[in-house]
Structure 1
Amino acid sequence: MNFEPLLDERFALGEGPHWDAARNELLWVDIVGRRAFAYGPDDAAPRSWSFEETVSAIVPRSNGHYLVAAGRGVYDLDPADGQLTAVAEPAAEPPENRTNEARVDPRGRFWMASMQQNIGPDGENIPVRQSSGLLWCIDTDGSVRQVASGVGISNSLVWSPDETRMYFADTLQGVIWQYDWEADTGAARNRRVFAATEGYGNPDGSAMDEDGCLWNARWGAGCLIRYRPDGEIDRIVEVPARCPSSCVFGGPDRKTLYVTTAHAELTPSERGPLDGVLLMAETDVVGQACTAFKG
């Protein structure tokens, strides 16, 4: 697979890619840089919004605005003026946490997972010493419910094409979990290990394709692993960056794979020319369509 940079700009901690088919644009964030981005094929440069706190995700809303996960909560972002309006700020979220993984399920609910804040005020790395993260579901009616606790570093929220399984990873434990998922209610039950692969870095963000295979970015290993629905490895795809953080399928046919990467935890001497760059490659599979938040 031939990966190329989408842009020249580097991101300290690129994350949270989402393909918005309605606007024909790619969305992503730089968590350390505290910025969110939107970029379409015909744009001369990405649009961006800056935040006072770390921002971990940006997705489209059905009202024409965006929904962002920032700090410890979820906010409506008016793209015209950058105004933020609180949508959900879970009171049970510990003050030492920040949002990390966040995705929209196939029915339009927004799922947000947190972790111990590991980024200092100047972007410095803080070791994660506790599993204080929580997993939340923000439903389309605005209700908020806690789904899981005791999470170290939350990642890899994706759903199977038949809407019967949900996947969620804890990078600190090195495990991708699988749940039985009820699409009509959003209930996630019966958690068990889907994959606990050793020797290929740590599991970070994921994408799902229409064959039901999960593509997982392997932080620190410079590769993606495509897992079959039974959890077995189908293929390992090398990425020209040491720390791929997440991925998503996009483009008009959803056969373009976009991969966010990071350089925040690499010293200047360790950084290669594409560490921190947003990468893209054409694939031989069709990715699952992303969904806008319908709340």
Structure 2
Amino acid sequence: MTVNAVTPHRARLGEGPFWDVRSQALYWVDIAAKQALRLMGGELQVWQLPEHVSAFIPCESGDALVTLSSGVYRLDLATEALTLLCVADPQPGNRGNEARCDAQGRLWLGTMQNNIGEQGEDLPITRRSGGLFRIDSDATVTPLLSGLGIPNTLLWSEDGGHVHFGDSMDGTLYHHAIQPDGQLDPARMWFGPHERGGPDGSAMDAEGYIWNARWDGSCLLRLTPLGKVDRIIELPVSRPTSCVFGGPDLTTLYITSAASPLGHPLDGAVLAIEVDVPGKPCHRFAG
């Protein structure tokens, strides 16, 4: 399996890859460097932001959402102007981490205690103060979970009745049934700790299998719908952080990564590999 870096850019903490089918563009962020990035038509564009940013998601209205430390903002891609949409998590000292939109175009945002200093340095995590929130297109915020450590992975079943959600502090991916009123049933363990690193972000393919990036594991795990390891995809980076299916046929898997003490040449790169099963498309924010 051939692995390529899609640009020369190397992130300190690459995260949140999003493939926009309509524009055939890849969006992602460098949380520590406060950058939102887009690769479209072979051209890399970088937006420098005033705060740490964990997600960069295009909107149906033509602009994009960025999840900054102080809230969820609309970013005008032409003028770079920021407009506050909402403050999902009012807890002081928290920041956004995982964020994806469901099939209805609602943003789900997982937050955590901020662990990144102003210069990009690591800060200790001393509390489980994170939460999971749903933000509708009209900016209504619905709290869903609390007491989270490091939220990662947000993927929904085909019928929208269940969500896969992870907490890297637990080393575990969970499964929640979604109630008719939109609240979540208690977590059910779906895939526990594994010797190949900790669970980070994930993507789902057309067969319902989950491809999970393994922080400090130098690999992806492809997991069956029953939570068993189907295959291990070795990677030339120490800390893969997330992945998304893209390309014209959704058979290119894009993988974000972070810098590491091991200093591998591709650490921090966005990697691309061709896979034998297409993935499910990302959804824009409905607002």
What is the TM-score with the length of structure 2 in the denominator? 0.97
Q: Residue 203 of structure 2 corresponds to which residue in structure 1?
A: 207
Q: Residue 289 of structure 1 corresponds to which residue in structure 2?
A: 281
Distance 2:6 2:108 in 1: 27
Number of equivalent positions: 287
Cα deviation, 1:233-259, whole Å, max 9, x if unaligned, reads 111111110100000000110000000
Deviation at 1:225, TM superposition (A): 0.6
Q: Residue 59 of structure 1 corresponds to which residue in structure 2?
A: 57
CA contact (8 A) 1:93 1:134 kept: no
Structure 1 stretch 186-195 or stretch 111-120: which is displaced more? 186-195
| Identity %, equivalent residues | 43
Q: Residue 170 of structure 2 corresponds to which residue in structure 1?
A: 173
Indicate which of 141, 144, 148 corresponds to 1:144.
141
Indicate which of 54, 74, 77 corresponds to 2:75.
77
Q: Which runs of 5+ in 1 are unaligned?
A: none
CA contact (8 A) 1:108 1:140 kept: yes
Q: Residue 106 of structure 1 corresponds to which residue in structure 2?
A: 103
Matched, 1:35 2:35: yes
Matched, 1:217 2:208: no
Cα RMSD, aligned residues only: 1.3
Distance 1:186 1:280 in 2: 35
Deviation at 1:210, TM superposition (A): 1.0
Which amino acid in 1 is paired with 2:2? N
CA contact (8 A) 1:72 1:114 kept: no
Deviation at 1:140, TM superposition (A): 2.5
Q: Residue 46 of structure 1 corresponds to which residue in structure 2?
A: 44
Distance 1:197 1:233 in 2: 12
Deviation at 1:221, TM superposition (A): 0.6
Matched, 1:164 2:188: no
Matched, 1:14 2:19: no
Deviation at 1:185, TM superposition (A): 5.5
CA contact (8 A) 1:18 1:248 kept: yes
Deviation at 1:164, TM superposition (A): 2.4
Which amino acid in 1 is paired with 2:170? Q
CA contact (8 A) 1:161 1:288 kept: no
Q: Residue 121 of structure 2 corresponds to which residue in structure 1?
A: 124
What is the TM-score with the length of structure 1 in the denominator? 0.94
Cα deviation, 1:82-104, whole Å, max 9, x if unaligned, reads 111111113x5211111111000
Q: What SS does structure 2 have at the residue aligned with 1:7?
A: coil
Deviation at 1:141, TM superposition (A): 3.1
